[in-house]
Amino acid sequence: MSRSNRCAGLEVLAVLVFCLTLSAPALSQTNLETVRGIYQQYTPENFDDGGQISHYVWKNFASFFPQATIARTRPERSLPSSPDSALTSATVETESGLSHFGAYVEGNPFIDGVIVLAEGRIIFESYPNMKAYDRHLGWSITKVVVSTALAALE
C-alpha cells in the first residue's frame, strides 16, 4: 500500500471516529467515566469484597488477572425450556423484606445470571446484568455443581 493510500485510509478512519464520537449520546461519556472510576478503585486486596468493584472485576477478569480460555470441542447442546411460574412467583425473604423470586433476581444489581434446572429442563433463566457477549466466572459455584452431580450419581 502506498503512503498516499495509507494517509487517505487514516483520514477516512479519523473522520469515521469523529462522526461516531459526535453521534454518541452523552450517557456513554458518563458510563465511561463510571467504569474508569470503578476500574481505578480495584486493588488486589478489595477485588473480592463484594459490591460494585467485585462485580466489575468478575465480568472483566482478563483485564486484571492472567487467564486462559478453553474452547469447547463439541457443539453446545440445548436444554428444553419450560418456565415454572410457581418458581418465578415464589416468595423469598430478602434484607429489604419479602419479594417474588423473579422480581428479586431482576431487581438485584449484583446478580448477573441465574439458571434453575429440574429434571433435565430449564425452569427458570434470567441474566439481568449481562449482555449476550459477556463472559463470567463460575468460581465457587462450580464446586456445588460438581458435588451435586457426584451425589446424584452415587
Query: Over the Cα atoms of the chain, what is R_g?
Result: 22
Distance CA(138)–CA(61), nearest Å, equals 12
End-to-end CA distance of the chain: 65
Task: Give the position of cell 472485576.
Answer: 57
* pLDDT grade for 106, boundaries at 50, 70 and 90: very high
Task: Give me the domain span that covers residue 116.
Answer: 69-153
Instruction: Look up the pTM and report it.
Output: 0.60
Q: For residue 9, is it within any domain?
A: no
Q: For residue 1, is it within any domain?
A: no
The grid coordinates of residue 131 equal: 449482555
Among 39, 93, 44, CA closest to 65:
44
Q: For residue 47, is it within any domain?
A: no
Helix axes 26-41, 51-59, angle to 10 degrees: 100
Mean pLDDT in residue range 7-16: 37
* pLDDT grade for 107, boundaries at 50, 70 and 90: very high
How many domains, in total, are found in the chain? 1
Task: Give the position of cell 462450580.
Answer: 142
What was the pLDDT predicted at 30? 54
Q: For residue 100, is it within any domain?
A: yes
What was the pLDDT predicted at 88? 95
Q: For residue 86, is it within any domain?
A: yes
Q: For residue 139, is it within any domain?
A: yes
* Dihedral sign, Cα of residue 82, residue 83, residue 85, residue 86: positive
What was the pLDDT predicted at 12? 35
What was the pLDDT predicted at 31? 80
Over residues 111-152, the pLDDT tens digits come to: 888 999 999 999 999 999 888 888 877 777 788 888 988 999
Q: For residue 13, is it within any domain?
A: no
In the chain, the percentage of residues whose pLDDT exceeds 90 is 31
Distance CA(136)–CA(144), nearest Å, equals 17
SS3 56: helix
Q: For residue 4, is it within any domain?
A: no
